[in-house]
Amino acid sequence: MPSQMLKPVKMVVLLTGCVVGTVDPMVNDVYKNMLVPQGYDFQLKIYTMDDINTFNSKATEFREELKTTDIFFLFTRPNYPLTGMTYGTDFDAPADFKAMVSQMPLDARVFILGPTKPANITTVNITTLPAYSAVAAPALSKENVKRVLLEILRQSNAINISPNDTKLVPGIQDFIYHPDAPNTFTDRQNYIDWYKSSGHYKEGAPWIGITMLNRYYISGNMATYLTLIYNLESKGVNIIPYFYCTDPINPSRKFFMENGTTAIDALIACVQFGYWPDNQTVQFFTDLDVAVPSPVPIFLQTTLDDYVQKKSNNNLKGLEYFWLAMFEMQGRIEPILIGGDNYVGTDPETGYNLKEYVPYQPGIDQLINRTLAWSQLRNKDNNNKTVAIVYFDSTHDEGIPVTNGLNLYESLSNIIGALQANGYNTGTANLTASDLTALINSKGRNPSIYAPADVITLIQNGAVLVTKEEYLQWYSALPASLRQQVEDVWGPAPGNVMVYQDKIVIPGFMLGNIFLAPQPVWKWNGTLTSLNNNTLPPTHQYIAFYLYLQNKLHADALVHIGQHGTLELLPGHTNALTEDDWPNTLIGYLPNIHLLKMSDPLEAVINPVKRRSYAVTISYLIPPVTETALYGNLQEMHDLIGQYDDAVAKNNTERQEIIKNLIWEKINNEPGLKERLGITSNTSFLVAYNKLHNYLHDLQLILTPYGLHTFGELPDNETLEKFIDAIIAFDPVNRTALRDQIRNLLIQSAANEMNSLLSALRGEFIQPVSAKDPIRLLDTLPTGRNMYSFDPSAIPDSAAMIMGGKAAEEMLKRYRQSNNNNYPETVAIDIGDIITTNGQSIASIFYMLGVKPITENGLVIGTELIPLETLGRPRIDVLISDFHNFRSACPALMDVIDYAIRQVATANESAQNNYVRKHYLALKTQLYNEFLSSGMSTAEAEEQAERFARSRIFGLPSGADPHGVGVDRILWSQDNWTEQQLAETYLSYYSYAYGRGMSGVPAKSTMEALLRTVDTTMVIMPYQTPGEGTCLYRVSATLNFMVGYLTNSKIDSYIVKTCYETPLVKTMEESYYDDVKVTLLNPKWIEGKLREGPSGHASISFQIRDLFTSNALVDLTDSRTWQQIANTYLFDQNMYSKLDPSAAKIMTKFIYQAHQRGMIQLSSAQAAQLAQALGIHVESSNPDQPSTTTTSTGNVQRSYGASRGYQSSSVGETGQQSASSPETSGAQTAGDIGKSYEVSTPSAEAADDTPWGTYAVVGIVSVLALAGIGFFFKGSLFG
């Protein structure tokens, strides 16, 4: 046919976002088989986001094609951000789109699907196509793809065609499709009639609905879904496969419901869009009331084959990651990998990489098995259901069963009672919390040291035994790659952990059809390398536990209680797991229901639970909190202030003088109060009076936790009303009138928690809710809902930008007051608040850097520099600490921050006014020399030095367990640690760099050099309640310690409380002092914990442990306060006699170690009492004198290292293990009783910031066992 072109035209099409994988082959097909044969023989080049993300050559080729193109067509779903999209490693947001079009000829045209036009682009003519938006979804067809391409040619004056010939034609409507049917169906009953008449129907079998996107049907890319359809039917179920085209809600109601009642037993939602996180979708899922598994594909970053074989990125990013969050915001579950794109060739004319969407069979099998398990819960009688309830005992060295803010034993009693009341076979009726405590201590504890006698005792008490033959039968079904991992570390089955006479021992016990057991311990094997690179496999006993639940117990469902276990932290992909990933394989078919505290949004907890062990989470209330009531000396000082004010008002000078002396006496008698107030004996009384008055007022603003929460139960009426008072006090203006509503929400929460657990066990839908604190956000009430972390695309939101900016401003103001009005050069800031605060720390980082965000469609897609003359201060450098893997929660935002740092570092500004640039230039020189010395070429050294010198985001290796061997684990588990060990551990495990093109690259030299420039640290603390955010405190203390160690200087660390209208800035010392006053020394707090029994006592012991952990790093708490703590819990016989033995031993261990380290000076008699309780021999001495018994390392001595500046590493750079005497080696001694395991930290090897090298860590973990402090503690301080 003759050419229809009026002129030669070259068009480059880029397809991005969700249209990739389906629309791109249609564009290629339309061009070759419809347009060219009709004479529209223009030149077309087709590129897709996945091509450019996967192949650097494609990114280069794409950019080169743009230089000579006449037309550039961006084919993406309308309203996607344009400016901040990723188009290859050489482009940085927000310059991506601008950088692309700037390379085009001046007379070229740009066309964008939809109404959005990028701002500030003037070099080319940009045309939007709002009338053609529907071609991306509801009007998608080959005919309409042809018409939109013709319209672009028409508007470019390249063809002569009528506008009527390019108007979109109507798309197909929503329909049911079965590959065996002769046609599609728009009516449910017609489909059912065909299904039955055609012989597909199985009488009495469950019905499974499937929702899919129409573009797969239209493009013919159906292999994955055909496999899913046929495999489901092969399992004996009936199916309704529905393809979404326009409006998913109403057709879903029509196809999956009958007369307002659900007609299916589960809904597999294979749609990325259509079901939106809105009230309409959630209401539909609520009305449908079935589980909604939502599998995921791999198609935007790499091929399926490369992903499965772990040849590339082990995490979803960008749009694929956003979909995970969106699914969770709707209450959808089970993000199982079922397929992805593989390349099958390249079209020689268009350059298009041909691809097929192929099934991932192991994922499809697992999705089907898990969906059928959820549907079975709907159809099986409760009396015949078997449920496994798993709690956590020493999973992270606690040495005692723990949850998080939950009374474990009372909660278990309530749960067992509710199951019994709902027809479950629970065996013995009416088990009290005390009964369950005794059963757990007898049959359901992980032994502390795995001694043969302890294992035999468990067996005698009725523990489960798995024979070697049984285990091998289950174990042999695991993928060969996983079996090899296990045997390389733990030897052949059944291993030697919890094994007796070739039988694997599993603690636990049956109550009718209910199995209660502790999660096995993910045990260390003796080397740190596998922990460091996240490859340490579970033990045979750990594997046997989860295989036993599936293959012998045949559990119908699994319930995990509290925070947090290790199943979801085992090695493997971060999400979109494969059969070679441990969490995926061990959870198997088991529906997983996980009870979590409502304010537990940590990326290290909630997302792995949902995405790696496929849990439905059910939120439970935080422990009740009350407004802080002063007590003892504090209350007396408060009363004296009132009396003094009264005397002043009456001009009674004599009484004023008397009260003034009494106030001074009280101040002097309160340990640490002078230091807390910042006064001395020479301070004027008026100044002391004002500071004391303000301090007592601020103390009363803190909310005091009272006891713990019991699942499905309200506190007593008095505590409930005080809880309501505290919630109102957060925002009295808006909440005072809501008292009855708040009370009803709390009452509803108690009922909803248990009802939701029972609903989940019936395979029903659990409504979604964000994981937030109810004090801050009433919308999180009622509890009993399926929690999600947050919407990563909305971080930081506008409120967070304001509060985060204020937080940074107030912190700098406080810093300058103490530092001669100087600004810090570098602030180390942790981003652990991101989910809780919607990104306040990110806003603080922007504030420090002197940049403001660029937004598009409400999303932050980049930053721009605030001119120095406008800023009015230097740009402050930041060291961003990400201890808890929040970077994986919002990877796009991390790229924005990385780009902002690049902007600032390379700005044409004086280093005196730009500390980022100052440090960047110095560090680039240092690293360049190091790289050259390592044998790198000049060009390569320059390139690498430039990239590393502007790295500012540091954390663990990608995918690593945040709860692995870190500084705090050493402090908890080893008595003879040294500061050098702690420093080496930190630099070894937390020095991996992140940013654009860097996903966990070793960067120890970079981080160490930056640490030497740090003048202060900052942590945003969004909680008003002490005990919350403990991990943030530890991060601050660790950073402070590292700076002191490396620079031989003491810096202040600031805790910024953003739970107030104006952020409240405290030093770390001030924060700890206040928290101790409100908790460990507060009679009301103690009363609340004691009445909770063993769980409450455990909570006290962990508070003491955490206080010790931070004090071991930084001098925070004076010896008098430590003595008060010791006197309160250990040397008061009445108190001590009430404590659970396991909790008492934890307290004893850490207070004794505090004594050994010089934090507290116990008398010889007191030290001997503690030593005796711990089984440590101490030479007798004068009982009235302070004891001098210490470990081999002695008291805390801040043995700091080198000074500030850019120097090569002085910490363990030799690659040799520090020499140690027999007394301090890995062998267990009497003084080591009670430790969980020995950790001999690696000495860090020579600086290695090379991204291509293996970051080997030389070291040993001397593992005798994961010996928790244990329940075998019989020692008494008084007898």
Task: Give 133's contacts (C-beta < 8 A, 6+ positions apart).
Answer: 78, 113, 114, 115
Mean pLDDT across the stretch 389-403? 84
Mean pLDDT of the chain: 86
* pLDDT beyond 80 at 1199: no
* pLDDT beyond 80 at 792: no
Mean pLDDT across the stretch 291-299? 93
* pLDDT beyond 80 at 892: no
CB 116 within 8 A of CB 857: yes
Tell the residue number behind the tokens 């692995």, with chain if given. Answer: 964
Residue 371 sits at φ, ψ, to 5 deg, of -65, -45
Mean pLDDT across the stretch 6-16? 94
pLDDT value of residue 1279: 46
CB 675 within 8 A of CB 998: no
Torsion sign across C-alpha atoms 583, 586, 590, 596: negative
Strand arrangement, sheet containing 1014-1021: 998-1002, 992-995, 953-955, 877-882, 826-830, 1014-1021, 1053-1057, 1064-1067
- What tokens were used for 360? 């991932």
- What tokens were used for 716? 């007593």
Between 367-371, 407-411, 797-801, the lowest mean confidence (pLDDT) is in 797-801
The per-residue DSSP string of 1099-1131 comes to HHHHHHHHHHHHHHHS--S-HHHHHHHHHHHTS
Query: What's the pLDDT band for 376 if we cut at 50, 70, 90?
Result: very high
Chain centroid offset of residue 1073 CA = 29
Between 155-159, 192-196, 444-448, the lowest mean confidence (pLDDT) is in 444-448
Alpha-carbon distances, residue 290 vs 207, 257, 293, 294, 835 (angstroms):
11, 11, 10, 13, 28
Query: What's the pLDDT band for 1224 if we cut at 50, 70, 90?
Result: very low
Task: Assign residue 576 a region (left: φ > 0; alpha: ψ between -120 and 50; beta: otherwise).
Answer: left
Omega cis (within 30) before 494: yes
Query: What's the pLDDT band for 1191 if we cut at 50, 70, 90?
Result: very low
Alpha-carbon distances, residue 434 vs 354, 750, 785 (angstroms):
65, 22, 29
Of 560-564, 685-689, 992-996, 1204-1208, give the range with the top mean pLDDT: 685-689
Query: What's the pLDDT band for 65 if we cut at 50, 70, 90?
Result: very high
Q: What percent of the chain stands above pLDDT 90?
A: 67
CB 1200 within 8 A of CB 1046: yes
DSSP strand pairing (1014-1021 vs 826-830): parallel
Task: Give 847's contacts (C-beta < 8 A, 6+ positions apart).
Answer: 804, 805, 808, 809
Q: What percent of the chain stands above pLDDT 70?
A: 87
Query: What's the pLDDT band for 1050 if we cut at 50, 70, 90?
Result: very high
CB 106 within 8 A of CB 124: yes
Cα–Cα distance for residue pair 434/440, rounded to 1 Å: 10
* pLDDT beyond 90 at 299: no
The upper half-sphere exposure of residue 933, i.e. CA atoms within 13 Å in the direction of its Cβ, equals: 11
The per-residue DSSP string of 912-923 comes to TTBHHHHHHHHH
- What tokens were used for 23? 């629309």
Residues of the chain within CATH 3.40.50.10140 domain(s) are: 175-345+355-370
Task: Assign residue 960 a region (left: φ > 0; alpha: ψ between -120 and 50; beta: otherwise).
Answer: beta
More confident residue, 1190 or 828: 828
Mean pLDDT across the stretch 1211-1237? 28
Residue 917, judged by CB atoms within 10 A of its CB (0-12, 13-18, 19+), counts as buried
pLDDT value of residue 1254: 29
Omega cis (within 30) before 796: yes
More confident residue, 835 or 797: 797
More confident residue, 829 or 1221: 829
> 627: which strand partners?
703
> Tens of pLDDT along 635-668?
999 999 999 999 999 999 999 999 999 999 999 9
**CA angle in degrees (0–180, nearest 5) for 642-644-646:** 70
Between 62-76, 198-212, 824-838, 1200-1214, the lowest mean confidence (pLDDT) is in 1200-1214
> Tens of pLDDT along 494-508?
999 999 999 999 999
Torsion sign across C-alpha atoms 305, 311, 315, 319: negative
Residue 1061 sits at φ, ψ, to 5 deg, of -60, -45
pLDDT value of residue 529: 52
Tell the residue number behind the tokens 């939950």, with chain if given. Answer: 406
pLDDT value of residue 661: 96
pLDDT value of residue 585: 96
* pLDDT beyond 50 at 841: yes
> Tens of pLDDT along 1054-1065?
999 988 888 999
- What tokens were used for 145? 């793809």
Query: What's the pLDDT band for 16 if we cut at 50, 70, 90?
Result: confident
Query: What's the pLDDT band for 410 if we cut at 50, 70, 90?
Result: very high
Cα–Cα distance for residue pair 69/428, rounded to 1 Å: 78
> Tens of pLDDT along 514-528?
999 999 988 655 444
* pLDDT beyond 70 at 386: yes
Alpha helices in 395-496 (DSSP H): 408-421, 433-443, 452-460, 468-475, 480-490
**Can you name the CATH fold of 175-345+355-370?**
Rossmann fold (3.40.50)
More confident residue, 927 or 114: 927
Tell the residue number behind the tokens 């359901």, with chain if given. Answer: 444
* pLDDT beyond 80 at 852: yes
Q: Which helix (H) or strand (E) holds 322?
A: helix 318-330
Between 121-125, 689-693, 752-756, the lowest mean confidence (pLDDT) is in 121-125
- What tokens were used for 717? 């009426």
CATH of domain 10-166: 3.40.50
Query: What's the pLDDT band for 1190 if we cut at 50, 70, 90?
Result: very low
Between 170-184, 529-543, 669-683, 1187-1201, the lowest mean confidence (pLDDT) is in 1187-1201
